[in-house]
Amino acid sequence: MKFGRIKKDPVEVNLTPLIDVVFLLLIFFMVSTTFTRETRLSVELPEATGVAALTTAKMVEVSIAADGTYVVNGERLTRSDRDTLRTVLLPLSQQGTELPFVIIADASATHQAVVTVMDVAGRLGFANLSITTQEPSK
């Protein structure tokens, strides 16, 4: 008995759908991409004339010496620890925490001493903290 061979169609990959899909993906990414444009606003600041106020507003001023000792509003603290600083600042915070809180630190004072003052002031509710600097000498 003679069996006939079944002819197989040649295998070929149709690239047309693949090219269509890649083209659609390319279009999708091009459309969905956002291009950043840096815009700048021209702001004209208002001008004012007048004389600066001669009276100084009330504020809390903490000075930190090079050896880490604290001076609060001109009064030197007996001990330079967190509890003593908190005890001195507590009555000032009860007068109002909206007062400006100024930290004046010596250039050789430790970073820890400055952070301790900032931490105690923050825990007592002072929000207007500022650190003073000195203009460089020419």
101 SS3 class: strand
Q: What is the pLDDT of residue 56?
A: 56
Say if residues 69 and 80 touch (Cβ distance below 8 Å): yes
Q: What is the pLDDT of residue 1?
A: 64
Tokens of 132: 């003073």
Say if residues 75 and 89 touch (Cβ distance below 8 Å): no
Q: What is the pLDDT of residue 46?
A: 53
Torsion of CA 112, 67, 131, 84, to 10 degrees: 70
How do residues 26-51 score in pLDDT, each as one tens digit? 999 888 887 766 656 565 555 666 66
In Å, how far are 56, 73, 104, 129 from 53, measured between CA atoms?
Answer: 8, 21, 23, 21
Question: Mean pLDDT for each 10-residue chunk of the chain (138 residues)?
Answer: 76 87 92 71 58 65 89 89 92 85 86 91 88 68
Q: Tokens 């991409």 appear where?
A: 33
Backbone angles phi, psi at 40, to 5 degrees: -120, 135
- Which CATH fold topology does 60-131 show? Nucleotidyltransferase; domain 5 (3.30.420)
